[in-house]
């Protein structure tokens, strides 16, 4: 008998495709002692959550009533890279090197979404207003994952850096405002194919940089987006 969709997802989960779980996270507590809002922010492909620690520590200084949660993506064998291990929110079945959108593996995407939905629900439960005071966010691939979640979760907003929507999730509109930081010289997510995937952005702020944001102060660039919320 053919294995149904739910059975396939459960089987993949039990096999443990990654060496770590995205339930691992760094938490920066509100500096003021008052907890009024939370941001769950997802790092980019092949990164560690700790690489965002400095930027979000500085953001916390400016936003003292905010709690920042930086989950760690699991280490996955990336199909498009001959099984090379990388911290990733989902597996890639293709690598077009920025020429067009890469194909995301459906099952790994579904598994991460389920894990992150649980994490977000737990964080929302800590807030008096629940999801109404929780912001999703992410950098690059992490932003894509955050936008994927925002098509099913009615959060305060979603804030992304150098990211766009996954075409696979465009059939469902975003349930909250989207504030996007984009790079004018982005060669990883160039406008040649990302323009329709950016159409749902509520606000777009551009910086003169490439996808890696080496010349950009990420904390300073994200701060005005958070201050809108």
In a domain, 229, yes or no: no
Q: Are strands 84-87 and 75-78 parallel, antiparallel or unpaired?
A: antiparallel
Condensed to tens digits (0 to 9), the pLDDT of residues 121-151 reads 999 999 999 999 999 999 999 999 999 999 9
Please give the tally of structural domains in the chain. 1
Q: Quote the domain boundaries for residue 205.
A: 5-224
In a domain, 192, yes or no: yes
Condensed to tens digits (0 to 9), the pLDDT of residues 167-183 reads 989 999 999 999 999 99
Position 23 confidence tier, pLDDT thresholds 50, 70, 90: low
In a domain, 22, yes or no: yes
- In the predicted structure, residue 18 carries a pLDDT above the cut 60: no
Position 2 confidence tier, pLDDT thresholds 50, 70, 90: very low
Q: Report whether 158 contacts 135 (CB < 8 A).
A: yes
Mean pLDDT of the chain: 91
Tokens 């691939």: give the residue.
141
> Which CA distances in Å does 52 have to 28, 41, 123, 215?
11, 9, 19, 16
Check which CATH number belongs to the domain holding 66 and give it: 3.40.50.1820
In a domain, 122, yes or no: yes
């Amino acid at each position: 008998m053919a294995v149904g969709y739910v059975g396939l997802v459960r089987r993949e989960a039990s096999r443990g495709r990654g060496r770590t779980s995205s339930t691992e996270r760094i938490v920066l507590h509100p500096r003021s002692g008052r907890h009024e809002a939370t941001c769950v922010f997802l790092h980019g492909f092949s990164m560690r959550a700790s690489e965002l620690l400095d930027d979000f520590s500085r953001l916390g200084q400016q936003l003292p009533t905010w709690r920042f949660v930086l989950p760690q993506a699991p280490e996955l064998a990336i199909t498009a890279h001959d099984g090379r291990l990388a911290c990733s929110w989902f597996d890639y079945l293709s690598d077009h090197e920025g020429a067009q959108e890469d194909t995301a593996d459906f099952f790994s995407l579904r598994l991460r979404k389920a894990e992150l939905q649980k994490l977000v629900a737990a964080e929302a439960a800590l807030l008096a207003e629940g999801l109404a005071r929780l912001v999703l966010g992410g950098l690059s691939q992490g932003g894509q994952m955050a936008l994927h979640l925002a098509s099913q979760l009615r959060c305060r907003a979603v804030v992304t850096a150098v990211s766009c929507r996954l075409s696979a999730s465009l059939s469902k509109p975003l349930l909250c405002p989207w504030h996007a930081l984009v790079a004018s010289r982005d060669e990883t997510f160039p406008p040649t194919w990302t323009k329709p995937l950016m159409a749902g952005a509520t606000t777009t702020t551009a910086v003169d940089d490439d996808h890696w944001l080496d010349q950009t102060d990420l904390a300073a660039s994200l701060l005005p987006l958070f201050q809108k919320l």
